[in-house]
Amino acid sequence: MNTGIDVPQIQRFGALYIASARLKSISKWKGIIAAVDIGNPLFYLIAVGVGIGVLVEQGSGTSGTNGIKYIAFIAPALLANSAIAGVMDETIFPTIEGFKWRKLFFAQNATPITGRQIALGVYLSALCRAIFSVSIYYALLLAFNVVEFGPSILLIPIAVLGGGGFGAIILFAAARIEKVDQFFNILGRLVIMPMFLFSGTFFPLSSMPIYLQPIGWISPLWHATELGREAAFDYGVSNLMIAVHLTFLTSLVVIGLTLAMRQFERRLAK
């Protein structure tokens, strides 16, 4: 009996089916997502450009930012942080929902789609969300004349790579959660906040006390920020450090995604 189901195709493109389903779910909230993705950048750009940035430049000029205006100096960090936030939202909540709240992953896994494909599909849809958020942010940077169109376009893939590195690790962590009671408190207070404050976001990492600098060294936000500043403003990052930043972020993606896919398979096999 012909059921009209192409099993080999499902087995081959299972991750894309999952990503497509996730994107359809995300699209239901497109109005709210667009408002947040436009509102947050506007808030930061106005607050920093009209407020904090003016005070910083009056106090010390641009000597502490390699001659770059303060609003431009923090722009790559805010762009990368936007990607990290977008990927985090679209990996944590769908994963917890899939395993605990609605157990959608178990239903999907009952089809020819594997656990690895489910993990990859969730991850791909999260990257799409990051690309959307970062593209809007970049357009606003152009509109506010913070960056000039040209090499600065590399800010988009760099920010998405930073978000992807963090998101791959978070996908693995979310897949391991059995109890969500304290997870969000720990993530927000011990991971997100320190990463945002101590990753060279508002001032060069080298200006921080040496005992705080390791937080930046292991932060995907710092690595993406340094790459973004170099791409947009010729910040003076050496070729060696560019290689280090790219290797670090790529390693996070590969290691995190590999661990996440294995964890999805283990949990769905129970």
Q: Decide if 190 is inside a domain.
A: yes
Q: Decide if 3 is inside a domain.
A: no
Rounded CA separation 75/87 (Å): 19
Q: Decide if 6 is inside a domain.
A: no
How many domains does the chain divide into?
A: 1
pLDDT in the model for residue 62: 56
Buried b (16+ CB within 10 A) or exposed e, 107-123: ebbeebbbbbbbbbbbb
Cα-based distances in Å from 267 to 80, 98, 99, 116: 31, 11, 8, 11
pLDDT in the model for residue 229: 93
Range of the domain at 40: 13-268
pLDDT in the model for residue 4: 57
Q: Decide if 1 is inside a domain.
A: no
The residue with tokens 């010390």 is 60
pLDDT in the model for residue 131: 96
pLDDT in the model for residue 252: 97
Q: Decide if 19 is inside a domain.
A: yes
pLDDT tens digit at each of 270 positions of the chain:
455 566 777 778 889 999 999 999 988 888 888 888 888 888 877 777 666 656 665 555 555 566 788 888 888 999 999 999 999 999 999 999 999 988 999 999 988 999 999 999 999 999 999 999 999 999 999 988 888 888 899 999 999 999 999 999 999 999 998 887 788 888 888 899 999 889 988 888 888 889 989 999 999 999 999 999 999 888 888 999 999 999 999 999 999 999 999 999 999 987
